[in-house]
A and B are shown apart, each in its own frame.
Chain A
Amino acid sequence: MLKVDRLGKKYGGRWIFRELSFELGVGDRLVILGRNGAGKSTLLRTIAGLTSRTEGTVMLPEGDSRCTLGLCALEQSVYGQLTVAEHLQLTADLRGCPARIDELLEKVNLDYARSRPASQLSTGMKARMKMAMAIQANPAALLLDEPGAGLDEEGRMLIDQITAEQATRGCLIVATNDPLERRLANLELQLV
């Protein structure tokens, strides 16, 4: 489903990571652990195609990557002037998939803030909105970067629920600093 072969990324003459290989199938949930600056986020971004790779290959799930790949990252920015519902409509229009606004907002428990501009959302609310956008097209591969950051207890339970659902339709990669988030995975990759 998702295959990474001898992947390497070099930036400014320094290797961020090198010789990384793994293959994930349906139901596989991989957690990437490592110290700060180990390259966890860069690895996720490289897999998603947002950063160019220096060597190696990445085979993404079959189909249009706009729909087969979902990414939710802590540092991902959103449009301050657009409301929560408008964000979901925008990403659905661009991906060419159904918007499912009501269903997604109910799932991430953000229905009450659907008409609120993103600039007026808290960090946790933004994280929920980004999660809703990431799972909108039911992606075959879901990439989560620090998914628990900024979330309350209820939000963490939501992450558990979403990752469990993802395991039934595809694979999941979680990059985190938090050892507790190993609970989300059945495989781990320690960047050393």
Chain B
Amino acid sequence: MNSSWFREIRAVFMKEWQSEMRSQSGLITGLLFSVVTVYTISFAMLNTKIKGTEVAGLLWVALLFSSASSLPRIFLAEEEQGTAELLRLVARPHSVFWGKALFNSLQCVVTGILLSVLYLGFSGKVVTVPWLFAVCLVAGCLSLAGAVTLCGAIASQAINRAVLSAAIAVPLLLPLVSLGVSGMRVSLNDGLMSDGVGAAIGLVGYACATMATGPYIFAAVWKS
């Protein structure tokens, strides 16, 4: 990547960072959503001994809905405020996608770590294979961020954009959740190691495929 692309992607990323840090609406909403979700799940499972598969499943469901509801905002806000036109005029689509996807990835990884720490703390589950847990969490978050960013862009100009972006993202992310649960349950001492490694490889592949194809699909619709 040459310095021109780096400068453009950094500019979009910094714009998102500065806007988020100054308004803090998305950050606070995301944190609140994470805490409330974890607390609700733990409250519903009060005094219930749950297995690794169930812990992984609930964690991924929380992560899926947290990202599907908060990450598309990054494009929806641009369209609602009318600032997308300024970007269309001065930016190349690939840099817009990369800058926003990186910002969403960061947000998703932070939310994922927070959700995991809180949830594992509440459920008292011990991670037996930490590296597998970390790979599944990070690769899963990158895939989620890439796919949800793209869905946000695709739904951004629709009439019912806020609901639609989550509605079109969730079915696309279900295979990812299946892989994520398969990998993470093994890291929580439930299942065969070979299955967990296979799922982790699948997640990394999904993340690479999403991040590689996302900019091209986005470029096709950016000026529509």
Contact = CB atoms under 8 A, between A and B. Distances in A.
Q: Do chains A and B touch in the complex (CB under 8 A)?
A: yes
Contact of A93 (B7, B18, B82, B83): B7
Contacts, number: 64
B90 A66 contact: yes
Interface string B8-23: 1011101100110011
A127 to B, nearest CB: 14
Contacts of B89: 48, 50, 66, 69, 71
Interface size class of A (residues with CB under 8 A): 20 to 34
Interface residues of B, number: 26
B18 A94 contact: no
Contacts of A86: 15, 18
Interface in B91-130: 91-92, 95
B82 A96 contact: no
B149 to A, nearest CB: 18
Given A77-B81, A77-B83, A94 B8 contact: yes
Contacts of B87: 94
Contacts of B7: 93, 96
B18 A95 contact: no
B85 A76 contact: yes
B99 to A, nearest CB: 9
B51 interface: no
Contacts of A52: 223-224
Contacts of B88: 50
A37 to B, nearest CB: 19
Given A76-B86, A91-B90, A81 B18 contact: yes
Interface of A: 48-50, 52, 66, 69, 71, 75-82, 86, 89-91, 93-96, 117, 133
Given A77-B85, A93-B7, 10 more contacts: A50-B85, A76-B85, A77-B81, A81-B18, A81-B19, A82-B15, A89-B11, A90-B14, A94-B12, A94-B92
